Amino acid sequence: MTKDPQAVPAQEALERLQKGNQRFLDALRPSGDISPELRRDTCENGQHPYAIVIACSDSRVVPEHIFDAGIGELFVIRIAGNVIDAHQLGSIEYAAQHLGCRLILVMGHTHCGAVEAAICHNPDGYIRFITDEIRAAIGGEKDEEKASRLNVRHSVSIIESSLVIHQEEETHRLCVRGALYHPASGRVEFLDDSGEKEKKDPNAGMDFAPLLESLIGVIQEFHLKLGYEKKEIGLYYPLDSLNRLLDRTLTPQEMDRALAAFADGEKDRLGPLQISRKGDRYCIRVPETGAAYVHDHVEEPKFLAAFLKTLERKDLAFSDIRAVFERFSNQARWKEADHEQFDYLFWFADDKPDAYRYCVRFEEDGHTSYHRFTQKEYDARA
């Protein structure tokens, strides 16, 4: 990309949008310049829009009116529900790379029919492409305004994670912002002080400790079962499990970044973690330095060791399993499992020596299989 001397810096573009919206609120009719002179001038000398606006197709949401803009001022992409896919990204890239736009504004709105359809209906036909995308953004949110905000955030995060846009962001001060238009008042609410902070440090306040604990727990389990070797271990997590561990509702793109930050924070301890994703399934590869760290520095889980030792025996009975739990605590509990594929659930009421839920199944061939879950994970799958 060539440096465009006419490019308007993102902050200045944002202020122009805010002032434009104020003029719109104050005026009775649009005052943007649509004169024949400007029309001819922009044809002969090219366009230099100062911002990219992604808005809904709703006939009440007209960005040029809302920001009191004339010909050549805004590069507008309109699509029902302001969702983002490859075509929209292509348009954004074009305007950023070739027209010098520095500000990308995703503007959702209240009373959005597309968001409402995603919350309340199951549309057929091509509409579904849009409502499915919105649903991915809003999860189970039923409040229309909150859902609209989540939908804007989702579009912002898709734009930010698009590779070319991301490079532009670093080298050319490209800025992606979200906004919510209120058609009743005409006011544009720029969603961002908190969003902006999140953007600079999207993992601010995120507690990675439960993820680290889970990782270490699985590595220990692995070592106890297969014997310790100083070698790389691959661990698999679905997106929803990671969200439960981090107590967030991150999109895959946001999770990519969160895990990158996690890996960065752990590189001195666990070594360089390799993180990959297929759809919403993640693989975290812990290198041999990480395996060695867990083996050498984290205390061996004595209960898990004893439990696994017990499971090596054939033809176990319920009482054998109960005995190993009772050996470690008088707070041991058990009941029939809520999961069809298991017979019993065991746990420690006071979460000591550990807080896992152990599901056990007595197989027909005489061996005993198990899976251990965190309580949240167990509840989510019950």
Contact region with Zn ion (CB under 5 A), list: 105-113, 205-213, 229-237, 267-275: 105-113
Q: For residues 272 and 232, what is the distance between their CA atoms, to the nearest angstrom?
A: 11
Instruction: Between 112 and 294, name the residue whose CB sits nearer to Zn ion.
Output: 112
Torsion angle, CA of 65/67/70/73, rounded to 10 degrees?
A: -140
Nearest distance from C-beta of residue 84 to Zn ion, angstroms: 14
Taking the complex as a whole, how short is the minimal distance between the CB of residue 55 and Zn ion, in angstroms?
8
CA 365 to chain centre: 43
Q: Is 133 in the site for Zn ion (CB under 5 A)?
A: no
Closer residue to Zn ion in complex, CB, 112/174: 112
Using CB under 5 A as the binding rule, the residues of this chain from 49 to 78 that contact Zn ion are 56, 58
Using the rule CB under 5 A, is 255 a contact of Zn ion?
A: no
The H-assigned helical ranges of the chain are 10-26, 36-45, 63-66, 86-98, 113-120, 127-138, 144-161, 163-172, 193-200, 209-226, 239-246, 252-270, 288-297, 302-311, 318-328, 375-381
Using CB under 5 A as the binding rule, whether residue 79 contacts Zn ion is answered as no
* Cβ closest to Zn ion, residue 72 vs residue 108: 108
Q: What separation in angstroms does the CA of 111 have from each of 55, 61, 134, 295?
A: 13, 11, 14, 56
Residue whose CB is less far from Zn ion, 95 or 107? 107
* Total residues in contact with Zn ion, by rule CB under 5 A: 4
Q: Is 295 helix (H, G, I), strand (E, B) or coil?
A: helix
Least Å from the CB of residue 78 to Zn ion:
10
3 state SS of 194: helix
Q: How far apart are CB 159 and Zn ion at their closest, in Å?
A: 18
Nearer to Zn ion, 180 or 242 (CB): 180
Locate 372 and state its tokens: 């251990």
**Minimum distance of Zn ion from residue 39's CB (angstroms):** 29
Q: At closest approach, how far in Å is the CB of 58 from Zn ion?
A: 4
Q: Which is nearer to Zn ion, 52 or 112 (CB)?
A: 112
**Cα–Cα dist 41/118, whole Å:** 43
Site string for Zn ion, 213-252 (x = CB under 5 A): ----------------------------------------
Strand order, beta sheet including 103-109: 74-78, 51-55, 103-109, 175-182, 187-190
Helix (H) or strand (E) holding 231: none
Tally Cβ neighbours within 10 Å of residue 78. 16
Out of 55, 112, 188, 259, the residue judged to bind Zn ion by CB under 5 A: 112
Which residue lies nearer to Zn ion by CB, 130 or 311? 130
Which one of the spans 45-53, 113-121, 293-301, 313-321 is the region binding Zn ion (CB under 5 A)?
Answer: 113-121
Q: Which amino acid is at 107?
A: M
Please identify, using beta-carbon distances, which residue of 77 and 112 lies nearer to Zn ion: 112
Return the structure tokens found at 254.
């946001």
Footprint on this chain of Zn ion (rule: CB under 5 A)? 56, 58, 112, 114
